[in-house]
A and B are shown apart, each in its own frame.
Chain A
Amino acid sequence: MAAIVEFDHVFFRYPEATENILCDICLSFEKGSFTAVLGHNGSGKSTLAKHMNGILLPTEGTVRVSGLPTTDEEKLLDIRHTVGMVFQNPDNQIVANVVEEDVAFAPENLGVPSEEIRQRVDDALRQVGMYEYRLHAPHLLSGGQKQRVAIAGVLAMQPELIVLDEPTAMLDPQGRKEVISTIERLCRDRGITVILITHHMDECIHADRLIVMSNGGIAADGSPAEIFSHIDEMEREGLDVPETVRMIHDLNEDGYDLSYSALQAEACAEEIATAILRRRAVWQS
């Protein structure tokens, strides 16, 4: 599959700083995939995100979006059109007093004709389940709802890739659930490439690929099952593993042989149930 974003030996440090925030990053993200980027505070994961649409430019190396280097001023608008970005604080990315006007902001900037804007806005709001709220004032919505409006605002731009920089960090559990299920649906049903930056492990279990960042470099890169099976390494990075992984790990230490691919609660319960039945069968014979 074609790569949509490529990092080629990217280094980044702020001017006059001596320490690299990103250190020799080589990555490529494929179209249609759902990637989660994990890391504790200061691991460089937000900086990585800000390189994907040219908000920050690499000190060394190149970042390419659909083959275009982000340093190309002329193409910056195309790059930002390709890569939509959702930020942590929903309050600071909503620009209008009415939900639908805010969602219309990006297509308005792109000079889309008004009938098509109308259509895109309605579509985007339906996709995130906020259509009934289109005439509401954003400040009266809950955090999760605001964040879904922000996602709709990016969707209306019709990007190929959506980067979400800790979209759930300021939300309550209910809001987190709403946002994460919206993101998953967009990727699975709409084929939009998603890169989710987070420090919540349990938000990553649905991802196709997991990248763990540490001190500006990549500590691990692989499928969630692969990465979570190295539970000790994860803990060395200061990251918690999902509850299900912890349980599987503890049971395996007690002599069970469970697969780390069962990350969702139901799948995990099933895996454990079959293992118990297997054991019982062994004892009885």
Chain B
Amino acid sequence: MLKDITLGQYFPGNTVIHRLDPRTKLIFVLLYIIALFNAKGWAANGVMIAVTLLSMAISHISLKNIFKGLKPMMFIIALTALLNLFYTQGTPIREGWIITWEGIERSVKMMLRITLLITGTFLLTYTTSPMALTDGLERLMNPLKKLHVPVHEMTLMMSMALRFIPTLIEETDKIMSAQKARGADFETGNLIERAKALLPILVPLFVSAFRRADELAVAMESRCYHGGEGRTRLKQLHFTGIDFVALFLGLLLVAGIFVLKHYGL
């Protein structure tokens, strides 16, 4: 059950999008999000859908994988749609009904926006290895080091967390099986009872996570880790032609969406 989590999953590949510098992809996603939140009219939303589908096609990420990622978010999407449907003022679709034409339009657009937002960010993690992603993030935030922001430590923690997600999930499964074998019941009872039932999983999980962290720290020190200073990288990041093309297209997208917004489309 826990194996279905797609967070931070990476599908190796060799498409143009896979080969883009992680910094380019991070900036592009940022631009994409800016464009998305300024896409008001149907034309603008159509452009956003087209861009998303095109990116999916180029990176060979199938709709199935996107849906897998969307599944856990279904509840939030549905809830937002429902709230927008019932709480938007305007002309009712029939005399005396709460549902308005404006409400339908808004809830559809809302659903679209959230779906596209998730799809866009998933495309980033699906096509970029977590190492490259944290590396890119570190390089992008490099200027913040001057303000004594511990950029290297933050990104290292992030990549460690991603590294240990599968390990800890495996461990959780193991502990759950062990507790079930001793008669623990996780499936019945009300919410509070079930939350209480999780305690015998969390305690051993935390204890073991701390022990792991301790051993990991010793192992890292044994391999000459001494902070971010003077570190080199196996894979040096460098911008190439396609990176500039991609960034240009990103800027073009934002500009285009703003133009459409200006004309109310």
Q: Determine if chain A interacts with chain B.
A: yes
- A interface residue numbers (CB < 8 A to B): 53, 55, 77, 80-81, 84-85, 87, 89, 91-98, 100-101, 104-114, 117-118, 121, 135, 137, 139, 153-154, 157
Known contacts A77-B226, A109-B226; A89 and B129 CB within 8 A of each other: no
Q: What are 8 contact pairs spanning A and B, CB under 8 A? A: A87-B219, A87-B222, A92-B215, A98-B129, A100-B234, A109-B231, A135-B12, A139-B170
Q: Are B170 and A53 in contact (CB under 8 A)?
A: no
Interface contacts beyond A84-B223, A97-B159, A111-B230: sample of 15 additional A-B pairs, CB < 8 Å, sorted by A: A85-B219, A85-B222, A87-B218, A91-B167, A92-B215, A92-B216, A95-B163, A106-B224, A107-B232, A108-B233, A109-B223, A114-B233, A118-B234, A121-B234, A139-B167
User: Which of B12, B131, B225 interacts with A101 by CB under 8 Å?
Assistant: B131
Q: Are B220 and A95 in contact (CB under 8 A)?
A: yes
CA distance A195 to B23 in the complex (A): 43
User: Which of B130, B163, B167, B231 interacts with A111 by CB under 8 Å?
Assistant: B231
Encode B126-137 as 1/0 by CB contact (under 8 A) with A: 000111000000
By a CB distance below 8 angstroms, the chain A residues around B233 are 104, 108, 114, 117
By a CB distance below 8 angstroms, the chain A residues around B218 are 55, 87
Kindly state whether residue B19 has any CB partner on chain A within 8 Å. Answer: no
CA distance A55 to B215 in the complex (A): 11
Q: Which of B168-185 contact A (CB under 8 A)?
A: 170
User: Which of B12, B220, B224 interacts with A77 by CB under 8 Å?
Assistant: B224
Q: Considering the complex of A and B, which 5 residue pairs feature the smallest CB-CB distances, nearest first? A: A93-B219, A104-B234, A92-B215, A106-B223, A139-B166
Interface of B is mostly: helix
- B interface residue numbers (CB < 8 A to A): 10, 12, 129-131, 159-160, 162-163, 166-167, 170, 212, 215-216, 218-226, 230-236
By a CB distance below 8 angstroms, the chain B residues around A154 are 223
By a CB distance below 8 angstroms, the chain B residues around A80 are 221-224
By a CB distance below 8 angstroms, the chain A residues around B224 are 77, 80-81, 106, 109-110, 157
Closest to A94 in B: B163
By a CB distance below 8 angstroms, the chain A residues around B219 are 85, 87, 92-93, 95
By a CB distance below 8 angstroms, the chain A residues around B215 are 87, 89, 92-93
By a CB distance below 8 angstroms, the chain B residues around A100 are 234
By a CB distance below 8 angstroms, the chain B residues around A89 are 215
Q: Are B222 and A97 in contact (CB under 8 A)?
A: no
Q: Are B163 and A92 in contact (CB under 8 A)?
A: no
By a CB distance below 8 angstroms, the chain B residues around A92 are 212, 215-216, 219
Q: Are A96 and B222 in contact (CB under 8 A)?
A: no
CA distance A107 to B232 in the complex (A): 8
Q: Are B232 and A95 in contact (CB under 8 A)?
A: no
Closest to A117 in B: B234
CA distance A154 to B221 in the complex (A): 12
Closest to A52 in B: B222
Task: For the complex formed, measure the closest distance between the CB of B201 and the CB atoms of chain A, giving whole angstroms.
Answer: 19
CA distance A53 to B235 in the complex (A): 29
Q: Are A113 and B163 in contact (CB under 8 A)?
A: no
Task: For the complex formed, measure the closest distance between the CB of B223 and the CB atoms of chain A, giving whole angstroms.
Answer: 4
Closest to A101 in B: B131
Q: Are B159 and A96 in contact (CB under 8 A)?
A: yes
